[in-house]
Amino acid sequence: MAVVGALVALTKPRIIELLLVTTVPTMLLAQRGLPSLKLVLVTLIGGTLAAGSANTINCYLDRDIDALMKRTSRRPLVNKQGIIKPAAALIWGITLGAAATLLLGLLANWLAASLADAAILFYVFVYTLLLKRRSSANIVIGGAAGCFPVLVGWAAVKGTIAVPAIVLFAVIFLWTPPHFWALAMKFKDDYARANVPMLPVVASPVQVTRKIVGYSYAMVAATLALAPYAGWLYTAVAAGLGAWFLLEAHRLNAQVTRMNAAPAIPTPAICVSVAGVSVAGVSVAGVSVAGAPAGGDEAPPRAFPMRLFHLSIAYLTLLFAAVAVCALLPVGHW
């Protein structure tokens, strides 16, 4: 069972869940209703296998830097834990990719299979091998790999790629940087320790949050570009969700800006002599010492990037839920 658990962990199931959230609504929009249950299951299973393949190969290639970061230090290939050997993990990843190709090709269509393969290759060669350790644009460009599920879902239904699928691709492409940079702000030291040039490592916090705000506006604009295809009800929901996201992005930027503008507060060690004995870092007779704010002084402002990170997941889930519901409802269209 330990081996099975390790093999599943290599596929990063939590990431796969988010990818699949975007697939089914896209299929509903393409069909303008419910596709066959068989096609939905084939596409979901094929997409799961393809994403699992890419993630497993990523774990194989990044096992050296995963060992340096606390967030990834418990992955199965880290620190020679012995449950799964690296060669076995690589074979597992390739096998998953081959299974995804055959399943989608034979039971959906070969365009869907080819797009799934393109996602695997892009994630492995463009993001993991080419960009991740070399460029702060790694997640901007490499994040395109996570956009392919909407193309796969649309192609599975229609056998072609159309404008609505490209718009949804753009939505996820523009959503990825704010989502991931918020996470990277939290784990900046991890990435710095592994010498991975994520934007929060190489740029100031203010620069990062300004870029988050900029990408957020572009993302919301992309969601509204789907309006002619998804209807007025979707448009209203997308506008409301977009306003919510922009509010939170601006809030994070404001927090970071205040932190940047706040003067540094010196915190010298304070010694208090009591009966001839020097006592450092204690509170005596109501006197605050050891650098603690005294007399009710306000603590320095703090930024909370993980708030935006978690909100971004909820945002994308609700947005695609709106796509799905509006595709099924007999009302809400232009």
pLDDT digits (tens, 9 = 90+) for 83-115: 889 999 999 999 999 999 999 999 999 999 999
Query: Is residue 170 within 8 Å of 211, Cβ to Cβ?
Result: no
Task: Indicate the range of 143-157, 169-183, 300-314 predicted with least confidence.
Answer: 300-314
Alpha carbons 225 and 227: distance in angstroms, whole number: 5
* Mean pLDDT confidence for 232-258: 97
Instruction: HSE, CB side, 13 Å, CA atoms: give it for residue 311.
Output: 19
Task: Could you list the beta-strand ranges (E) of the chain.
Answer: 271-274, 277-280
Banded pLDDT at 261 (limits 50, 70, 90): confident
* Mean pLDDT confidence for 262-281: 47
Is the per-residue pLDDT at 21 higher than 70?
Answer: yes
pLDDT digits (tens, 9 = 90+) for 3-14: 899 999 999 998
Q: Give the per-residue pLDDT at 58.
A: 97
Q: Which of 62, 303, 21 is nearest to 188 (CA)?
A: 303
Q: Give the per-residue pLDDT at 218.
A: 98
Q: Give the per-residue pLDDT at 263.
A: 64
In one-letter notation, the amino acid at residue 220 is V
Is the per-residue pLDDT at 293 higher than 90?
Answer: no
* Mean pLDDT confidence for 193-217: 97
Choice between 266 and 219, residue whose per-residue pLDDT is larger: 219
Question: Average model confidence (pLDDT) for the chain?
Answer: 89
Is the per-residue pLDDT at 136 higher than 90?
Answer: yes
Residues 6 or more apart whose Cβ sits within 8 Å of residue 118: 148
Cα dist from 65 to 115, 136, 159, 275, 322, whole Å:
29, 16, 40, 54, 38
Is the per-residue pLDDT at 300 higher than 50?
Answer: no
